[in-house]
């Protein structure tokens, strides 16, 4: 669309988002609340209705960001004690959101809830589990999580598990074990979206081989533009179209800007990760003193990733997965109020309204409905998969 300046593009973006649903595939607010000692795992006590300038997500800014659906992550660190219990605590926090603020959120567990929330002027609140450590090497929790409303699962986080290799840890399995394959197939049967963010490329390829439904990359960028191991390589991107899958561009600075990635490399291990359970403030301060401040990532650089991803996958396979978590953000995308600015930048780059509709929600909704259809069909012909990792892998 020609003849837009920044102000008119932002006006146009907001006009579009009054009509189009906007879906964000990943936000770690539940972990922020879980970690807040004063909140004591209570959404009401955290008081999400007031501004939280110390982080990036609260109700006032969610409304300003014009979201129609948010996928909240029940993220559990791999090294956490009692990860099964912690996963349930995070799921409970997500379930509290529409209970505590029914005027803002609706409990959501189907693709149709996205349009329902838009019609009601509310935000569809979806549950995801980020990291299979909470399974504790058993298939049974999958069905309990699904019954609680979980509709997306990220197979692992920053560490390799007993059945799946992480992108940011030493590989142990060459991808997925037999138990890992059973997890994927059971997620298909349950109608839960399989999310390959955080997995090693070997896992990505294997899941693209075996999944009976489209899969999601809920917060990844392009490895070709920034060589963080969490980004998707070209040979994976080139398979997304055939699988009718979706990759959601993410806002993490180290996944956007190669200079930011290079600056932070000495602070991380050989696989690009640092632990959520360890503070690196002193190390960061010393590194900054010696090397200057970390280069900033920007909204414009994120759009370069979006356009590169689109060039590899086509317009029907792109979405938005911010990964707001209370940490570093790019210039122009400081918090959840800034989603319209992303749409405005795409307008300035010549994206049509039809293309913006696809990245805002249409591509993801199509994938979600396909996963639901697959689950309904498989549930009529397949019994539940049961057992533990040792029953499949003999360990």
Residues known to be catalytic: 26, 28, 130, 157, 198, 219, 323
β-pairing verdict for 123-130 and 246-249: unpaired
Q: Which residue's entry shows tokens 């149709």?
A: 112
Q: Where are the alpha helices (DSSP H) in 211-252?
A: 234-240
d(CA 331, CA 361) in angstroms, rounded, equals: 24
d(CA 394, CA 28) in angstroms, rounded, equals: 35
Q: Which residue's entry shows tokens 């991107």?
A: 237
Give the residue among 211, 269, 198, 279 at the shortest CA–CA distance from 240: 211
d(CA 341, CA 333) in angstroms, rounded, equals: 8
Helices 178-190 and 363-379: crossing angle in degrees, nearest 10, is 100
Give the residue among 161, 201, 193 at the shortest CA–CA distance from 71: 193
d(CA 84, CA 226) in angstroms, rounded, equals: 34
Tokens linked to 356: 């913006």
Give the residue among 304, 341, 336 at the shortest CA–CA distance from 321: 336
Cα-based angle 118, 122, 123 (whole degrees, multiple of 5)? 90
Residues in the chain: 395
194's enclosing H/E stretch is: strand 193-195
Give the residue among 196, 232, 233, 236 at the shortest CA–CA distance from 216: 196
The half-sphere exposure of 232 on its side-chain side, counting CA atoms within 13 A, is: 32
Q: What phi-psi label fits residue 393: left (phi over 0), alpha (psi between -120 and 50 degrees) or beta?
A: alpha
User: What number of other Cβ atoms are within 10 A of residue 99's Cβ?
Assistant: 12
d(CA 160, CA 226) in angstroms, rounded, equals: 22
């Amino acid at each position: 669309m020609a003849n837009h300046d920044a102000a008119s593009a932002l006006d146009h973006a907001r006009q579009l988002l009054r009509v189009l649903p906007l879906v964000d595939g990943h936000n770690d607010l539940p972990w922020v609340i879980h970690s807040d000692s004063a909140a004591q795992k209570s959404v009401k006590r955290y008081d999400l209705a007031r501004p939280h300038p110390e982080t990036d997500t609260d109700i006032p800014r969610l409304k300003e960001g014009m979201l129609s659906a948010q996928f909240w992550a029940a993220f559990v660190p791999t090294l956490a004690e009692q990860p099964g219990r912690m996963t349930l605590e995070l799921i409970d926090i997500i379930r509290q959101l529409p209970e505590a603020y029914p005027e803002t959120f609706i409990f959501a567990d189907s693709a149709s809830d996205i349009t329902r929330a838009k019609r009601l002027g509310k935000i569809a609140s979806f549950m995801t589990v980020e990291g299979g450590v909470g399974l504790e090497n058993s298939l049974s929790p999958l069905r309990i999580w699904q019954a609680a409303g979980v509709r997306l699962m990220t197979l692992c986080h920053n560490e390799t598990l007993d059945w799946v290799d992480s992108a940011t840890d030493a590989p142990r399995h060459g991808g997925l074990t037999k138990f890992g394959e059973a997890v994927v197939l059971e997620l298909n049967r349950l109608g839960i979206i399989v999310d390959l963010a955080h997995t090693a490329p070997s896992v990505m390829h294997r899941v693209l081989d075996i999944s009976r439904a489209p899969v999601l990359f809920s917060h990844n960028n392009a490895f070709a533009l920034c060589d963080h191991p969490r980004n998707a390589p070209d040979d994976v991107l080139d398979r997304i179209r055939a699988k009718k899958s979706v990759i959601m561009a993410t806002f993490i600075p180290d996944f956007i800007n190669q200079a930011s990635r290079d600056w932070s490399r000495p602070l991380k291990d050989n696989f690009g990760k640092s632990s959520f359970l360890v503070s690196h403030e002193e190390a960061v301060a010393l590194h900054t003193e010696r090397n200057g401040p970390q280069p900033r990532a920007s909204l414009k650089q994120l759009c370069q990733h979006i356009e590169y991803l689109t060039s590899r996958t086509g317009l029907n396979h792109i979405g938005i997965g911010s990964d707001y978590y209370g940490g570093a953000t790019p210039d122009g995308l400081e918090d959840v109020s800034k989603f319209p600015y992303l749409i405005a930048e795409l307008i300035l780059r010549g994206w049509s309204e039809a293309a913006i509709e696809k990245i805002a929600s249409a591509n993801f909704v199509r994938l979600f409905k396909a996963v639901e259809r697959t689950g309904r069909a498989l549930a009529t012909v397949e019994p539940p998969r049961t057992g533990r990792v040792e029953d499949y892998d003999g360990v």
